[in-house]
Amino acid sequence: MTQNDANDIKLDEYIPFRLSILSRAISQSLAKQYSKYFNITIPEWRVLAVLASQQPLTANEMGDRTNLDKVQMSRAINRMLTTGLLEKEKDPHDKRRTLLRVSSGGWDIYRRIVPIALTHQAELLSVLNEEERSLLIALINKLHSKAITF
């Protein structure tokens, strides 16, 4: 391929690349705040946030909702069980399945992180007006719907 090949990817215009870079930048900037004060990682925060809104879930269900691979998910869950942020129990309907829940200590951390996360989001979105914010959410939803059909 040459530098001027029409089939070259222009990374500054390639949406999958740009969204990945943006997502990582946002996650890392927020993680600097909550990891310093609460000693949790980005995967642990994702697990906590998802479980706080959708518990109980299995580890597999968590993987689907957090976009973490099995190794990241396993490490996050094991560490959170060890540090007391999560609790596990056998599924009363299927004893082969283990369900995860946020513990009281996990709820304490979650309630302390949420205001930080919301402030972080507000600061990030402050460069957009209300119409742009609404459009951004609509576009993200539209792209996500298309992406999951591939």
pLDDT band at residue 6 under the 50/70/90 scheme: low
Helix locations, 10-126, DSSP H: 15-38, 42-54, 59-66, 70-82, 104-125
CATH architecture of the domain 40-147 equals Orthogonal Bundle (1.10)
Q: What's CA 142's distance to the chain center, in Å?
A: 18
pLDDT band at residue 59 under the 50/70/90 scheme: confident
The reported pLDDT for the residue numbered 93 is 85
Give the mean model confidence (pLDDT) for residues 60-86: 91
User: Which of the listed ranges 26-30, 60-64, 136-140 does the model predict with the highest average pLDDT?
Assistant: 136-140
Phi (first) and psi of residue 21, to 5 degrees: -65, -45
pLDDT for 3 beyond 70: no
pLDDT for 112 beyond 90: yes
Q: How far apart are CA 143 and CA 141, in angstroms?
A: 6
pLDDT for 19 beyond 90: yes
pLDDT for 121 beyond 80: yes
Contact 37, 115 (CB under 8 A): no
